[in-house]
Chain A
Amino acid sequence: MAEEHHRKTTLDGGSWLAARSTEVKFTGTQLTTTHPPTSSTSPWIQAVVPGTVLATLVKNKVVPDPFYGLQNEAIIDIADSGREFYTFWFFTTFHCNLSTNQYCDLNFRGINYSADVYLNGHKTVLPKGMFRRHSIDVTDILHPDGNNLLAVLVHPPDHPGTIPPEGGQGGDHEIGKDVTTQYVEGWDWMTPIRDRNTGIWDEVSISVTGPVKIIDPHLVSSFFDNYERAYLHTTTELENRSSWTAECSLTVQVTMELEDSICLV
């Protein structure tokens, strides 16, 4: 795939559970310490992550598929249900053992619209904004036995808006007050999305590195002599999380991919 941190493990697939926040009697701290849910106990259901609250409800047939016929009309809109109706818990477990001088980050590539993250009883608030990444250094809160409990309470956009009876482009436009996708209030080509795409909508991963990690490299090419002469400019941020000066050697290597997996060095 295009870009890879080579120590990244994505947390996706069938291991996630979800439940409506108003139906869960435990706190995030209890869910990730004394009362972790299991898939067979109501109100917990199998979750779609990455995905949205509505994707999870459709998958579990709690609501009809909104894209068939007029079924979208059968799903209550967030304007009528209130935000808490589409405020959901997502829960999973993951295994991670660190050796000396290793560090672990929990990464969310997209949350719509904000979230409270609980890992083994520790809470972190993820700030608002659909189009931003979040990375939490969880090195010190991983379980010594390697088995970790993660619960994420995802909140919808602050201004989900109300769909006027006549519909229209972007409904009542309230959604524009937030930094989130705007089509969700409906457009001339699209019915409103009832949960406004609330959810863990992009990749969740953990990454394990040594004392120094590579952050957001930037690659730029410049050309001269009619593209015969080219330069690759490479800049990166580096973070040393240890308590001592790190003596490093930093390498960049460029190989031409001739055909799949055959490289010319």
Chain B
Amino acid sequence: EHLQTRNLSIPAKSRVQYTFPELFFYKPNLWWPNGMGKQSLYNVVISIDVKEFGESDSWSHLFGFRKIESHIDDATGGRLFKVNGEPVFIRGGNWILSDGLLRLSKKRYNTDIKFHADMNFNMIRCWGGGLAERPEFYHYCDYYGILVWQEFWITGDVDGRGVPISNPKGPLDHDLFLFCARDTVKLLRNHPSLALWVGGNEQTPPDDINAALKIDLRLHPDFESVDENTKSMG
């Protein structure tokens, strides 16, 4: 039941979007943050064959079955995270980047992120003045069970709250900012460790950017899952 093939025709010189009928899993092995259970990962392979040509392209990704929710908790005023319906006591670290000359390597990511897991952390917060981290970073967070709080490229100091006050309306090109944000989401969105997209550090992005990000990042209604035990928190 975990293999599905569909036939389709794609017109010449065109680009289409295709959604498979959903695949059913009974009691899948769930992905859990560090310290709460195993980080079970499934290998998802998508391939496409073209008649009279053979296999035209294929793609694979390690995927974790997990549901991450978070909301501002009235009692504490803090953000409360739940993974697979279980509340998580967040033990997190700040992250700027591996290296100031961007000599980023899998080996370094593996070492740095395993270090965080060995320190019994279960979250890394990627600061808005740094990078949108790379797929290799997220791979090791998937592997070691480190949730990721990923900020977009706005910081209070530089965007409207620093001394002197500067860039109160953020970057000059808002369309470029949103293009980069959308492309980054497409690059990273399949990683189970990705827990939260955040507009910026100590600053809300300009209203138009913030509104667009909120719309783009809503969970599609098709994917809402209401569980009698855990009301979907939206």
Contact = CB atoms under 8 A, between A and B. Distances in A.
B101 interface: yes
A248 B155 contact: no
A34 interface: no
Contacts of B27: 227-228
Contacts of B139: 1-3
B45 A252 contact: yes
A51 B101 CA distance: 7
B189 to A, nearest CB: 6
A234 B59 contact: no
Contacts of B142: 2
A91 to B, nearest CB: 19
A233 B223 contact: yes
A140 interface: no
Nearest to B184: A131
A80 interface: no
Contacts of B76: none
A2 B193 CA distance: 12
B183 A131 contact: yes
Contact of A178 (B51, B172, B226, B229): B172
Interface residues of B, number: 111
Given A66-B100, A214-B57, A227-B84, A251 B190 contact: no
Contacts of A250: 5-8, 18, 20, 46-48
A66 to B, nearest CB: 7
B23 interface: yes
B51 A1 contact: no
Interface in B1-53: 2-20, 22-30, 40-51, 53
A263 B177 contact: no
Interface string A168-191: 111011111111111101010010
Contacts of B5: 249-251
B176 A54 contact: no
Interface stretch (A37-45, A81-89, A148-156, A235-243): A235-243
Given A179-B176, A232-B22, A219 B48 contact: no
Interface in A89-130: 101, 109-110, 127-130
B55 interface: yes
10 contacts: A7-B58, A51-B101, A109-B187, A169-B155, A197-B101, A232-B22, A234-B22, A247-B50, A254-B2, A254-B25
